[in-house]
Amino acid sequence: GLGGMYQCFYGCEYLVSLENIPSGVASIHECFKGCKNLTKAPVIPSTVKNMKYCFNACRSLTQAPDIPSGVNNMRGCFYDCRSLTTTPFIPATVTDMQYCFANCIALTTVSNISSGVTNMAFCFEGCKNLTTVPNIPSGVTSMAYCFNGCTGLTTAPDIPSSVSGLKECFKNCTSLKRVKLECNYRANEFNDAFK
């Protein structure tokens, strides 16, 4: 009958793994936040909808768990997971990816970006080893600071016309050639993306 596990293992610095999360749980909001020695994530039940800040600052986590279809909120889910090298497949039900992989400094590969996502503000901020990312889905509206500090990013994704917020999206992307982006951005937003 457990419905939520809000902050269940918050700050448990010596937790390295968990056998399972009970079936029926809908929210694991901040469940493992600050578990800096967690090396293996448990299987996420299909009933989970909310993974907001779930693995925030799990700095020893090297592999993300599979994300079940039905999850809609992944805001800050893997924020500051500094050992994570690749993203899990993000199902189409996910709409919020704000801060999702921010400061994942070892991240090199992005498997996909959910076709249902609308908010990608700060999503990959500080991912300095990220070199390329998939194109952005047509429903995304906010990408403010999305790739800020991605110093290894060499290829810019296509940005759909649905995006209205590009503030500092590519700030400090020192390996990205600005000239390659001009055709992808509306004139009034292009300069704002680099401020």
**Digits of tens for pLDDT over the chain (195 positions)?**
788 999 999 999 999 999 899 999 999 999 999 999 999 999 999 999 999 999 999 999 999 999 999 999 999 999 999 999 999 999 999 999 999 999 999 999 999 999 999 999 999 999 999 998 888 999 999 999 999 999 999 888 888 888 888 899 999 998 986 533 433 455 555 556 666
d(CA 150, CA 41): 26
pLDDT of residue 155: 83
* Coil/strand/helix, residue 109: strand
**Torsion sign (Cα): 135, 126, 85, 35:** negative
Whether the pTM exceeds 0.85: the reply is yes
* Coil/strand/helix, residue 73: strand
pLDDT of residue 102: 98
Do the Cβ atoms of 54 and 30 come closer than 8 Å?
Answer: yes
Q: Which two tokens stand for residue 70?
A: 């039905």
The residue to which tokens 């290829």 are assigned = 155
The residue to which tokens 């990312």 are assigned = 133
Q: Across the strands, what pairs with 109?
A: 86
d(CA 191, CA 126): 20
pLDDT of residue 180: 38
pLDDT of residue 43: 96
pLDDT of residue 182: 39
Residues with Cβ within 8 Å of residue 92, at least 6 apart in sequence:
69, 114, 115, 116
d(CA 119, CA 45): 24
Do the Cβ atoms of 153 and 175 come closer than 8 Å?
Answer: yes
pLDDT of residue 190: 58
> In this structure, which long-range contacts are made by residues 108-111, counting pairs with CB atoms below 8 Å and at least 24 apart in sequence?
109/85, 110/86, 110/134, 111/86, 111/87
d(CA 174, CA 32): 33
pLDDT of residue 3: 86
